[in-house]
Chains A and B, each alone.
Chain A
Amino acid sequence: MNFHGEDLRKIYRTGETEVQALRGVDLDIEAGEVLVLLGPSGSGKSTLLNILGGLDRPSSGRLLSGDLDLTALDDTDLTRFRRDRVGFIFQFYNLIPSLTAEENVRLVTDIAENPMEAGCALELVGLTERRDHYPAQLSGGEQQRVAIARAIAKKPGVLLCDEPTGALDSATGVRVLETLEAANRETGATLVIITHNAGIAAMADRVFHFLDGRIARIERNGSRTPPGRISW
């Protein structure tokens, strides 16, 4: 799934203070591309990710995904967009503690348009054995892989990952990145990863460097480094 954004701006107002989270971002993301967003806290990465995923709307500007104008969609259509096309992965997994691994995946397959089997998604992330475990019974890495299974189960056009390895040790982090990369490779989903870890940038086709709500620099890697060879 591709994106085309023009002059995207986002202003948050809390009381009398106004925070400009995005100050005019132009971008083009190609279908199947692996993109890493790098930058300090508050530089606008998460805001952009939320806007790309239809969780939030820009205050101004235009964002197209294919021929779909995301900025013109109402709440119901944005929800449908997320339901059918977007997979999210967060730093703290956001699994439902009362549901087992498989049921967490089913939470998505219950509603998506053309999902894969929940068991199949778990198999892709190597967690078939742990399908009946509750989140509290899984390690951090396992929980994140459940979250990935949940995200890929709907066969999304794009996987949006906000610090997916932020809470994990390096070995587990690599495992998670490998799973993401495999998902990108096998499903053709566009992969967008936010990270503070500059090493991860090596696995991307392109890297967007963020500063003060703008894309300060775009870096294109000649070739993608497999996650296993990334220096952490």
Chain B
Amino acid sequence: MKALDRKLLRDLWHMRGQVFAIALVLAAATATFVLSLGVHHSLVETRDAYYARNNFADVFASMTRAPRSLVDRVAAIPGVRKAEGSIIQYATLDFPGRPEPARALINSVNEQGRTELNRLAMRSGRLPQPGAPGEVVADESFVKANDLQLGSRIAALIYGKRQVLTIVGTGLAPNYIYALPPGDILPDDRRFGIFWMGEKALEAATDRSEAINSLALTLERDAHAADVIRQVDVMIEPYGGTGAYGREDHPSHAFLDNELVQLDAMTRVIPPVFLLVATFLVYIVLGRMIQTERTQIGLVKAFGYTNAEVGWHYLKFALVIAVLGAALGCASGVWMGRAMTRIYAEYYRFPFLSYELDPRVFLGAAGLSFGAAALGALGGMRAALTLTPAVAMSAPAPPVYRRGVVEAVGRRGGFSAVGHMIVRHIARWPGRSAITVFGVGLSVGLLFATTQFLDSSRAMLDGFFFRAQRQDLMVSFIEPRSEAALLALAQLPGVLRVEPSRAVAVKLSHENRVERAAIESAPRGGRLSAHIDVDGIEIELPANGLMLSRQLADKLGVRSGDQVQVEELGGRRSRLSLPVARVIEEFVGERAYAGEATLLGITRDAAPVGSALLRIDPARRDDIMTKLKDMPMVLGVSERDATFIRFEDMIDENINTMLAFYISFAGAIAVGVVYNSARILFSERAHELATMRVLGYHRREVATVLLGELALLVVLAVPLGCVLGNGLARVMTTMFSSDLFRLPFAPEPASYGRAVLIVLAATAFTAMLVARRVMHLDMVRVLKGRD
């Protein structure tokens, strides 16, 4: 080994604390990179493999009832590779002893296993046998959540008829990776399941002999989806078709896509912040190290080493840190990725979801780590390369302190000598002090920006659950009903108020943009629902025209005052042009609203009631639930408070895991920055501190000089961190918003406090580590060192 390399190893060992602290920051960067990219990669790979293996369709359509022969006609459309028809039917399930009804979405499946599109992946048991009417395959999550087994029997109400279902198998399908109960915003494995029943059996159960109500298509590689959709629309129109749509509008696909967008956003925002800090740290530490090694640099240059050799020596120092950071980061990124994947596996129903890593992710992570370290090293090295040997070997000029602004403040403040030492040192090295302030500020900012998502979620919850939804129960009907259904509900003992919730499926178009949507409406003077915008303001439905959510308006490219073409899907298929009366900033989904009169203008008859909102007497809740369960028209009941609790649980489970990760990441930055600053400070001031000890200062008093400077910098960093965090949080909130959700930016003041406290704790811990060195300062040796 060359002598210079031996020196490198010893330097690394000697500075191991600082090396490790920088590596920690680099590790945090690579970990977030590996974590989010790895999870992203795993989800995409798993999804794509699952889609390919089980033939997830490209185009979907549903209708009221169509002859099976329609399938062949659709299959003949140019560009369609394969078309399949099936029956999809909601059913109400009755679990004895449970007042609230559970729901199932039953899909028909060929008993011989000939269903090819959205093919069922069997997890256990077998397919239903032909001619065995009650046999079903149930989705795995539902079976687990309800403690069911193969052979379990469940009473069901299908299409108005009671039937006992027997579970003969469990399975999953690519069109139900994420399955939401109708009208709900969260999955509910206990109360909502996906079932598959033999084709013949479901035909019989729903009186649809040789008929279908759903189509799935795969397309040729070069097919144009929009053309096919247009042709399918024409074909299904006579059968009550509600418009064909592609994967991007498929609920399961869209939810998964939403998650991928968020993971992608995380990769774009967080690792760069860490890399920036790490680059600065390498820059400072290496710059400082080179300064203390001036003489040695002059010496080796005098011996004939070239600038390139000296530069490479110090670059290697940085690269070793990069290797350490990348290795640590990759390992923890993989570990965290596994934990995240386990969470995803609970919410997304994949037959397999393993955390798999593309070697390119590691290469990318290592590249980032190396790049940041090398960039920092080059900055720090510049001085070493420009020094001539003669200058380098002479002692550096003593630091010159001057009076400045800080001085004036100090005089006015009546600082003690120790106080002057602190502020003058900060003012003497403004760049370095600024980096410490910036680094600690960033860790506060990052922590705030990530933890404020808790506030976002809660603000969204508050708006969505408590202010917008004022009902206790939402009863959804098997088929849209007339006003009479409301009367039937109002007569149940304990029901205090009933209001209809109407919705009409439409296609909205503006210029060449087309979007499917449901225009929702509530009665004028209704008390059980409200429209709350992101600022928490209640918005009235417009008397004329449509109110569109911001996401939908943006997709259509319209502003308030523009006209949109409305085409009713199903019903009378009326077409008309309506003005956009208002665009509302909302949290959830792409939605459209209109007053009841406008809705009537579209449907021309009284618009059917899709669901009803109920306010009830809590004491009679179980009775009402039991009664609702027995009403054939009722498909399902969602309870606002129960959904709220599930949302809270989800936040507790998922967000807390994420929070733990981010707290450790931000902690890593704080520790890295503070440890390095403190060590540099200590090495620069060791002589002064020893002098103070000689003069009779106690250890604690001497430590004040060191800790005081750090504390002052951290105090400066706190407001900066809050400002940085606010900005970063706004960017992240925007980036995390998708077509499905818009997060409000609504941080609680306490979130700033929490971020600050966590960083202060990490800072204090680190400072204490260095302060211990002050406690063990050997006065005699330090003073001799100079002489």
Contact = CB atoms under 8 A, between A and B. Distances in A.
A80 B417 contact: no
B696 A98 contact: no
Interface in A102-140: 103-104, 106-108, 110-112, 134-136
Given A55-B780, A136-B400, A86 B696 contact: yes
B401 interface: yes
B687 A94 contact: yes
Contacts of B701: 111
Nearest to A137: B400
A103 B410 CA distance: 12
A154 to B, nearest CB: 8
Nearest to A84: B696
Nearest to A104: B417
B695 A55 contact: no
Nearest to A47: B780
A222 to B, nearest CB: 34
Interface stretch (B160-168, B213-221, B420-428): B420-428
Given A94-B783, A98-B421, A104-B417, A88 B694 contact: yes
Contacts of A103: 417, 420
A167 to B, nearest CB: 9
Contacts of B428: 98
Interface string B399-438: 1111000000000000011101100110010000000000
A83 B697 CA distance: 7
Contacts of A80: 696
B401 A94 contact: no
B421 to A, nearest CB: 5
A56 B418 contact: no
Interface string A91-106: 1101011110001101
B6 interface: no
Given A90-B787, A94-B783, A136-B400, A110 B696 contact: no
Contacts of A111: 695-697, 701
A99 B417 CA distance: 7
A86 B783 CA distance: 17
A118 B574 CA distance: 96
Contacts of B692: 96, 107
Contact of A79 (B401, B687, B696): B696
Given A98-B425, A136-B399, A82 B420 contact: no
Contacts of B416: 106, 110
B691 interface: yes
Interface string A66-92: 000000000110011111101010111
Given A55-B779, A103-B417, A104-B417, A98 B401 contact: yes
A98 B698 contact: no
Contacts of B697: 79, 83, 111
A56 B780 contact: yes
A136 B401 contact: yes
A112 B693 CA distance: 13
B780 A99 contact: no
Contact of A97 (B398, B417, B786): B398
Main SS of chain B's interface residues?
helix
A contact residues, range? 35 or more
Given A50-B780, A56-B780, A82 B421 contact: no
Interface in A123-182: 134-136, 150, 154
Given A92-B786, A134-B401, A79 B418 contact: no
B417 to A, nearest CB: 4
A50 B782 CA distance: 13
B400 to A, nearest CB: 5
B693 A98 contact: no
Given A106-B417, A136-B401, A96 B696 contact: no
A134 B694 CA distance: 21
B695 A108 contact: yes
B639 interface: no
Contacts of B420: 98-99, 103
Contact of B691 (A79, A96, A134): A96
B688 interface: yes
A150 B783 CA distance: 17
A229 to B, nearest CB: 29
15 contacts: A79-B697, A84-B696, A91-B787, A96-B417, A97-B398, A98-B420, A98-B421, A98-B424, A98-B428, A106-B417, A111-B697, A111-B701, A134-B400, A136-B400, A136-B401
Interface of B: 398-402, 416-418, 420-421, 424-425, 428, 687-688, 691-699, 701, 779-780, 783, 786-787
Interface of A: 50, 53, 55-56, 75-76, 79-84, 86, 88, 90-92, 94, 96-99, 103-104, 106-108, 110-112, 134-136, 150, 154
Given A99-B420, A99-B424, A154-B696, 5 more contacts: A79-B693, A97-B398, A98-B421, A99-B421, A111-B697
